[in-house]
Structure 1
Amino acid sequence: MHADFCIEALKEVLVRFGTPEIMNTDQRSQFAGSAWVSALTDAGARISMDGRERCMDNIFIERLWRSLKQEAIYLEELTDGFKALSVIRDWINFYNTERPHLNAERPRTHTSTVEMRN
């Protein structure tokens, strides 16, 4: 991933969703460079970076993404963005309502769920 691509994507996100209070990234060069840091600070966001070799910082979200890819995305032929969005929405609904979790039972309540924004 190139820094220019990341900065353009960041600008689009800021326009569409507004400035986040905190932006967390890893320490890859595109996120540690002055252009990225300036874009965030100019927008008013605080910057948070995971420590080196701190894979545990994002373990829960990394596990979620792994499950999504292995249980849905890699099993489908995603011909366009509409198909991808449909597959991802269906899987997140399944994850929140039916998928067995560590206790090998269906989730009973939704005190915390993963949701997608339109």
Structure 2
Amino acid sequence: MFNTEQGCQLTSRAFTQRLEVCGVEISMDGKGRALDNVFIERLWRSVKYEEMNLKSYASVAEAQRGLSCYFEVYNNRRRHQSLKRRTPSEVCEEGLKTAPPSGRTSQS
């Protein structure tokens, strides 16, 4: 997934088409919503300081294995203070249980 703001260089057809051809999902923050990026920036800060800066990967494959393990722990085992000591997976499951059926909103 590629998360970014809606700058003209990032929304151009040439740029987005290149991502789509590579199978990359595009996620863009709303116009004028500078704080939208705070959550993804915080995640990448954690990845950088807790995983990548501590390891010296010998290959891309080794980096992929290391990051897969990191995200497994981060999402499924690590309790987050900001999530009331729950894991992101627990919060996601809880949201799915309370979400309205697909295609319907709570106001329908």
TM-score bin (small chain): 0.5 to 0.7
Following superposition, the deviation at residue 57 of structure 1 comes to 1.2
Of 56, 79, 87, which residue of structure 2 is paired with 1:107?
Answer: 87
Name 2:98's counterpart in structure 1. Answer: none
Tell me, which stretches of 5 or more residues in structure 2 are unaligned?
94-108
Tell me, which stretches of 5 or more residues in structure 1 are unaligned?
1-12, 14-22, 114-118
TM-score (norm 1): 0.51
Following superposition, the deviation at residue 24 of structure 1 comes to 6.0
CA distance in 2, matches of 1:70, 1:85: 16
Q: Percent identity?
A: 29
Of 50, 57, 82, which residue of structure 2 is paired with 1:71?
Answer: 50
User: Cα RMSD between the aligned structures?
Assistant: 3.8
- Contact kept? 1:100, 1:107, Cα under 8 Å: yes
CA distance in 1, matches of 2:51, 2:68: 10
- Contact kept? 2:75, 2:87, Cα under 8 Å: yes
TM-score (norm 2): 0.55
Name 1:59's counterpart in structure 2. Answer: 38
CA distance in 2, matches of 1:108, 1:33: 33
Following superposition, the deviation at residue 33 of structure 1 comes to 4.5
Name 2:63's counterpart in structure 1. Answer: 84
Following superposition, the deviation at residue 96 of structure 1 comes to 1.8
Return the letter of the residue paired with 2:92: S
CA distance in 1, matches of 2:13, 2:61: 35
